[in-house]
Structure 1
Amino acid sequence: MNGPSMRFLGHSTARLELAGRVVLTDPVLTRRVGGLSRVVPLPDPAQWRDTDLVLISHLHGDHLHLPSLRLIGRHVRVVVPRGAGAWLRQRGFTRVEELDVDGEFTDGDLHVRATRALHSGHRWGPRLTHGPQSEAMGYLLTTPDSSVYFAGDTDLFPDMAKLAPVDVALLPVWGWGPNLGPGHLDPVRAALAVGLLRPRVAVPVHWGTLVVPGLSRSARMSRLLVDPPLEFAAGVLAAGHDTEVVVAQPGEAVPFPAPKDHS
């Protein structure tokens, strides 16, 4: 590795190379995710074969996706919200670690802290009580030269400002259906999040990757597979934030901002 880098692999999955570690966020790497279909090309397996660390933001099937974790390998280090560890270990994963919100750990020069998120943490959705439950969260990754905030799934909350400033913010701007339920950022609220986080670079995620089969043919869904990140970028520009928005298509590399000169 020659320095920090990142690549958007689709939905909430990003490959981050930081401080000599390869980190994947919420990996979704297959053609099908439950009842959803992938409408963009699959990631090159080279993008996940050398993974050192997987960060899981919450238990929903499009974020904690067991078939994708099996592709990466059952012995790769996986960090999950507190309460999900035993459930995942029962499915054969051997290096599972749990974090509470505000919990943290260090791996070499990489420091990871779990952050708050406003989103349902139940595996099967907010209206059910059976099955695994844990608190949804995001992650703040820092090295001596850079910082990356991965929001997971969340709605806007004022304490985002306590994370500022960050070099890169990976912010969800939509989902996989024609509507958003509670606990999600849309393009407007994601642009407001930029004002709180003050990132140098903002990357819209959680869009344009998964869809309910058949819905992609509708005019509304066709627009929603394309428009949310563009609307987000327009909102950031209109607000006058000093942030570069990089709209990367699934599979594309994202330019990482140069380290700040602290001399």
Structure 2
Amino acid sequence: MNGLVMRFLGHSTVRLELAGRVVLTDPALTRSIGGLVRVAAPLPRHTWQGVDLVLISHLHGDHLHLPSLRRLGPDVLIVVPRGAGEWLRRRGFSAVHEIGVGETVDESGLRITAVPAKHSGHRWGPRFTHGPQAPAIGYLIEAAGVRVYNSGDTDLFEEMAGFGPLDVALLPVWGWGPNLGPGHLDPERAAEAVRLLRPRVTVPVHWGTLAVPGIARTGRMRRLLTEPPRRFATAAEGDTEVLVTEPGEQVALRDNTEVGE
């Protein structure tokens, strides 16, 4: 696909290699994230080394995870929603670039544009008013005639219809618990998002990686760790090519010269 290589590292973390640059979305790289444990296989170092650019969609702890960011080294460029930069700099990260909806970052052949998302932007969740807050965003990533949409956490919104044409969409299809709170997509609503976005290829993310200790082995939770992307593939059949990829594995993109044309 015009030189695009992607690996789904789990949860909302995807490694993209495009135009000679390596991008990582919402890094969640460790064995635990806050009170959650990683139930997918641990990540080998090579899957997250050599990153040039990190895209943070919002401030929630499973998307802006400080220990994971520290693994990437002090010089990696971190793009965050406008309003979050100073909070991150105070924690020792110097190469931080803030971006708001409609703004772009050009990085050595990559063009990164912030787009809206429908999700709480508060660090501690939608019910809190104290602490850091910045609007949740998604990203359009463009280079070499390829356009990739990374939604971050979001619910449906009509403006999605204006993001195309898209070669690849990274869409969440679940979360980390037995239920979804507001501002998320389940498999069927993610399929509705596909019909707005019209991507050639969709990779379901935000599934199969993190769980609450003690309930990960229950029957219902075991199903929720595996079923959502397959439910999504069924619901979206005929509207996009769905590439269900296990956490840690490379996405099986086809070499298609028509992509991006």
TM-score (norm 1): 0.96
Match 2:246 to one of 246, 249, 254? 249
Distance (whole Å) between structure 1 residues aligned to residue 66 and residue 198 of structure 2 = 34
Give 1:221 deviation, angstroms. 0.7
Residue pair 1:176, 1:210 contacting (<8 A) in 2 also: yes
Residue pair 1:173, 1:185 contacting (<8 A) in 2 also: yes
CA distance 1:80–1:67, change in 2 (3 Å): same
Residue pair 1:35, 1:212 contacting (<8 A) in 2 also: yes
- The answer as to 2:225 corresponding to 1:228 is no
Give 1:261 deviation, angstroms. 6.9
Residue of structure 2 equivalent to 1:119: 119
The aligned amino acid for 2:181 is G
- The answer as to 2:258 corresponding to 1:260 is yes
Listed as ranges, the gaps of 5+ residues in structure 1 are: none
Residue pair 1:166, 1:199 contacting (<8 A) in 2 also: yes
Distance (whole Å) between structure 2 residues aligned to residue 187 and residue 52 of structure 1 = 31
Question: Runs of 4+ in structure 1 displaced over 4 angstroms?
Answer: none
Give 1:200 deviation, angstroms. 0.9
Listed as ranges, the gaps of 5+ residues in structure 2 are: none
Give 1:108 deviation, angstroms. 2.3
Three-state SS of the structure 1 residue aligned to 2:236 is helix
The aligned amino acid for 2:252 is P
The aligned amino acid for 1:173 is V
Three-state SS of the structure 1 residue aligned to 2:139 is strand
Residue of structure 1 equivalent to 2:201: 201
Give 1:74 deviation, angstroms. 2.3
Any residues of structure 2 matched to 1:161-172 within 5 Å, and which?
Answer: 161-172=161-172
Residue pair 1:146, 1:259 contacting (<8 A) in 2 also: no
Give 1:262 deviation, angstroms. 7.9
Residue of structure 1 equivalent to 2:150: 150
Residue of structure 1 equivalent to 2:210: 210
Report sequence identity in percent. 63
Distance (whole Å) between structure 2 residues aligned to residue 262 and residue 81 of structure 1 = 27
Residue pair 1:165, 1:199 contacting (<8 A) in 2 also: yes
Residue of structure 2 equivalent to 1:36: 36
Residue of structure 2 equivalent to 1:101: 101
Three-state SS of the structure 1 residue aligned to 2:166 is coil
Give 1:255 deviation, angstroms. 2.5
Distance (whole Å) between structure 1 residues aligned to residue 40 and residue 260 of structure 2 = 40
Three-state SS of the structure 1 residue aligned to 2:155 is coil
Distance (whole Å) between structure 2 residues aligned to residue 188 and residue 218 of structure 1 = 23
Give 1:48 deviation, angstroms. 1.6
Residue of structure 2 equivalent to 1:185: 185
Give 1:103 deviation, angstroms. 1.0
Residue of structure 2 equivalent to 1:139: 139
- The answer as to 2:4 corresponding to 1:7 is no
Give 1:144 deviation, angstroms. 2.9
Give 1:195 deviation, angstroms. 0.6
The aligned amino acid for 1:244 is E
Residue pair 2:147, 2:260 contacting (<8 A) in 1 also: no
Q: Number of aligned pairs?
A: 259
Residue pair 2:146, 2:260 contacting (<8 A) in 1 also: no
The aligned amino acid for 1:96 is V
